[in-house]
Amino acid sequence: MSEMQNKAENPLFRLTIWMIAIPIFVDFLLTFSVFFTDSFFLSRISDTAAASVGSMIPVFMVAVLLFMMIAQGGSNVAGQFLGAQQTDKVEDTYTGTLFINTMAGLATGLLFFFGSSAISKAMGLSGDAFTFADTYLHYISLALVVMAMKYALASVFISQGKTVWNMYAGILVNVLNIGLNILFLYGLEMGIFGVILATTISQIVVLLFFWFVIKRQFQVPYNWSRLFRNFSQTVKPVLAIGLPSAVQPISTELGMLVISAMAVQLGEEAMAARTYVMNLLTLAICWAASIAIGNQVLVAHRVGAQLHEDAKKVLASNLVIAMAGSGGIAIVLYLLSNVLIGIFTDNETILEAGAKLLLVGLLLEPLRSLSTMTGYALKATGDAVFPAAWSIVATWAVAIPFAYYFGLKLEYGIVGLWLGLVIDEGVRGGINYYRWLSNKWMKMGILVGSEVELDGGKQGTH
């Protein structure tokens, strides 16, 4: 079958970046605004509550990113099988992804439940800050299990480009979280426990929503007996992409923990400025991630169908969209810095530090888009180990040393820590893009070495 015939007959190739990315952007914006909402409600308790819990967000995100990246691995594998029109393998991939993520959720939930005090102490927190952080990590553990399963189910929608369901979930979780926070914090005066309970309940509701839609609208048969009969064959390709993909952001977040510990040494006001600015930059981060995931879906479909040149054109055009969009968002946030940070606090020192961080963000966010887009595109092809390996190198050999040098050694403070992040994103983005241009990823797809009959859904191995 020719490339022209394949693209004409497969409905997947009628998907555009906007059809996939816009719902994901809204979903990310609303879902990650849960952190914004929680930070706002915690700041009503005190700046100490907001800052201490904010310093624990990288710990929380290590677990969340593990779930997201395993689900992303499942989505990429399913996307390639969809491009090759191999339905049975698509369904098995969905089942395997749910199994893996559920086990990962249980493991991390137990770790957080029993290890919250040790983690909070390791971050150098003490007094009220320690109490807030320890309480948050301990009781948020149940939500982690639920979120792991949720991301596995979400991979069904993403792999098929039906991301509108992810957007509906983002709206649902945001509305629930805000309403429950108001009820628990102001109505029942539950303090930090109210914030935790609101997050947990909203995540459970969204999980049930996803399950209902998948069974009712998509009719995906989660065939557990078939999964365990073909366990290695099904799980191996998911883990081959998912585990390296998880190592990359987890290493990054662990690096952010080290940098957060440096911020702790700079004082509570520096911690608070970092927390509030990260909440604002969620807008730019969500934009970059949504375009990257949309691009990833389009690339995976084309790699599965052996349309490599088309995949290269897709990344080239979408890279411009991602970098221009995140840069534009960073400009707006900087121009409105005092107004936006003023939502959280009237502390002049925090306002001034936050404005400086947003100025650095003018450079940081476009470079973050470059590294995210190219890294996700490589993973979509099955070339997941390379960006993961270089990400680890960049985090520990570039980001942390430069953050320490500028932030603590030269005493540039919180701004110096972020200069280290700028250099980090630039290095990893440049390396990933060079790898993409080398075309080595063309030999990494899960269907490489197989003779795929695209119109019949059959596969014959050489």
Please count the residues of the chain. 462
CA distance 46 to 98: 39
Burial 176-193 (b: 16+ CB within 10 A, else e): bbbebbeebbeeeebbbe
pLDDT digits (tens, 9 = 90+) for 50-65: 777 777 777 777 788 8
pLDDT digits (tens, 9 = 90+) for 190-229: 777 888 888 899 999 999 999 999 988 888 888 888 888 8
CA distance 362 to 172: 32
Q: Is residue 46 assigned to a domain? A: yes
The neighbour count for residue 117, using CB atoms within 10 Å, is 14
Q: pTM above 0.85?
A: no
CA distance 66 to 257: 16
Q: Is residue 7 assigned to a domain? A: no
Cβ contacts of residue 356 below 8 Å, gap of 6+? 414, 415
Q: Is residue 461 assigned to a domain? A: no
Q: Is residue 437 assigned to a domain? A: yes
Question: What's the confidence (pLDDT) of residue 445?
Answer: 65
Structure-block tokens of residue 283 = 């807008």
**CB burial of residue 205 (10 Å; 0-12, 13-18, 19+):** middle
Q: Is residue 323 assigned to a domain? A: yes
Question: What's the confidence (pLDDT) of residue 458?
Answer: 40
CA distance 359 to 351: 13
The ranges of the chain with pLDDT < 50 are 1, 451-462
Structure-block tokens of residue 46 = 């005190």
CA distance 229 to 227: 5
Q: Is residue 124 assigned to a domain? A: yes
Q: Give the count of domains, the chain.
A: 1
Residue span of the structural domain in which 360 resides: 14-442
Q: Is residue 448 assigned to a domain? A: no
**Coil, strand or helix at 458:** strand
Q: Is residue 458 assigned to a domain? A: no
Question: What's the confidence (pLDDT) of residue 459?
Answer: 39
CA distance 389 to 381: 16
CA distance 170 to 410: 42
